[in-house]
Chain A
Amino acid sequence: MAAADVRRDAETPPRNEASHTRRVSSWREHHGWSAGASLRRLAARPLGSLLTIAVMGLALALPLAFYLLLGNVQQLGKALGQDQAINVFLQPDQAASQAQLLAKQLGDRSDVASVAIKTPQQGLDELAKLQGFSGALDALEQNPLPFVLMVQPKPGLDAPTVERLVSDLREMHSVAQVQDSGTWRQRLDALLGVGDRVVIALALMLALAALLVVGNTVRVDIASRHEEIGVLLLVGASGAFVRRPYLYAGIWYGLFSGILAALLALAIEFALSGPVARLSQAYDGKLHLGGLPLWLLAVVPLAAAVLGWLGARLVSAWQLRKAV
């Protein structure tokens, strides 16, 4: 370096030497460097990094597994509910024309999917098929059974709506009795409501746990590099510059653990697929239990990356406040 160069250098005000464009370019370059350097640091201590990612991944997979279970119980409840038609027993003196008129009226309701009529003879034939009844039925002089309307509520109705439908049916003039499975459906809905809350609470708690895991890992990382941080600050690095590699480390931890959590959830889903198929067969294929939606599997790693960034951001801000 010639003395003249040094003089020219010395007389150039440092704060104006880089244009805005250059600064943005350099800023992007440092982001790239930070992302790469933090990834290399993770790879440099594979066991520690894998343990951190495994702990976070398991913590995030747990609410996903509960979500999967809850979703399937909901599906199961709906599927079983579909088979549980409301049986409406008409007064014994009701004629076939009256039964058909009532069936049409009910079929027009917005909360009713379909109405099937079971004639007294059909009822009698069913009873005849049951072991031990044939002899007793032969002794009857006339068919004592009434017309029965099998009302199928619209799928997806909540318990209060079905309850209202049943209540309306009971109040009908020509109806003698209504058989409904609404009580168990109501209980199941209540249980699923509790399950929803449990999943949300669990997800929040385990997200907090994941945040703390990342935070602690980054804290240890910062503590082990405090001399480097001191040097960077002394040569003019801003807090943001120093923090950047640690924030990327948090993002990597979060992203990888989110991917692991999604893979674990898929593994659970795969493990359940066999028993679910058998259960579905038991219901003549009417039971379709669902897996985790694709959008959720895509969102989990991204959300985990944000979580990792947040944990690293909080801890690094606190740690760097103590630095030079």
Chain B
Amino acid sequence: MGDLAPCIPYPCRDTAGSRRGRAVIQFDKVSKHYDGGHEALSQLSFTIPTGEMAFVTGHSGAGKSTLLKLLGVIERPSHGAITMDGQNLAKVRGRGIPKLRQRIGMVFQDHRLLMDRSVFANVELPLAIAGIARVERGRRVRAALEKVGLLSYERQLPATLSTGEQQRVGIARAIVGRPSLLIADEPTGNLDPQLAVEIMGLFAEFQQVGTTVLIASHDLPLIKRMRKRVVVLDHGRLVADLAAEEVL
């Protein structure tokens, strides 16, 4: 992990090949106001380099989920710019949105699995959408399921799995499309501590192979245990940006 340790401030040292050192995500004075005047994010500026794993934390309503929604173009910023690999997300429109989302793997606290389709079909979705051939899809889905330890469950329906297993199916679906960015919103919120550690271990493995990982979580003990960069929000404002070595 030493070579891949995140470095603050940006730009970090290039220790993992040519892809590192380039800002994959950049928030530049981003604000988000909802109808009724509620300010979910205020003048938020930070950068996450390629291949970094970072946590976004804060109390409930701090703006963690809003931040991830802005990255997934589920919401639009009211002010400021968010760029991903130099692409301004605020300007992505129409057919550009699904293309962008195909580059992002999303993991949700409530898994968002299709309960009437098998585990295999759920994980296969991003590949079918991306137009990957059937044989290649099968290979990749099985590789992803093997990675999360669910290869033998491929024919089962998600409802027959435990919460932790369902979350792992969600992770397999998020990584099967080889995203450059993996975002997760409270991925361990419904899991017991042991399972939560296992899931976080999976995210760390993806980060080790070059995927940028951004996780919203309010589980401070778990965050401390992971020893990764932590972005702390409070009422939509950035109150701390801690490098891995600063996390105690």
Interface set of A (CB-CB < 8 Å, partner B): 1, 3, 5-7, 9-12, 14-15, 17-18, 22-23, 25-27, 29-30, 227-228, 230-239, 241, 324
Contacts and interface: CB of A to CB of B under 8 A. Distances in A.
Interface residues of B, number: 41
B132 A236 contact: no
A234 B144 contact: no
B211 to A, nearest CB: 5
A3 B132 contact: no
Given A1-B143, A5-B143, A17-B132, A234 B178 contact: no
A261 B128 CA distance: 37
A6 B209 contact: yes
B175 to A, nearest CB: 8
A228 B112 CA distance: 8
A95 B154 CA distance: 104
A18 B132 contact: yes
Q: State the majority secondary structure of interface residues on A.
A: helix
Shortest Cβ-Cβ A-B pairs, 7 listed: A236-B102, A236-B101, A23-B131, A1-B143, A26-B131, A7-B209, A1-B147
A18 B210 CA distance: 21
Contacts of A231: 112-114, 125
5 contacts: A1-B146, A17-B178, A230-B112, A231-B112, A233-B98
A236 to B, nearest CB: 4
A114 to B, nearest CB: 71
Interface string B176-219: 01111000000000000000000000000110111100000000
B128 A234 contact: no
A239 B93 CA distance: 12
B40 interface: no
A14 B144 contact: no
Interface in B92-126: 95, 98-104, 106, 112-114, 125-126
A234 B129 CA distance: 11
Given A230-B112, A235-B173, A236-B177, A17 B130 contact: yes
B131 A7 contact: no
Contacts of A11: 19, 210
B248 interface: no
B209 A3 contact: yes
B1 interface: no
Contacts of B112: 227, 230-231, 234
B72 interface: yes
Given A235-B106, A235-B129, A236-B102, A6 B206 contact: yes
Given A1-B147, A18-B133, A234-B101, 14 more contacts: A1-B144, A1-B146, A3-B208, A12-B178, A26-B134, A228-B114, A230-B112, A231-B112, A231-B114, A234-B112, A236-B98, A237-B125, A238-B129, A241-B98
Contact of A3 (B101, B144, B205): B205
Given A3-B205, A236-B126, A236-B177, A15 B102 contact: yes
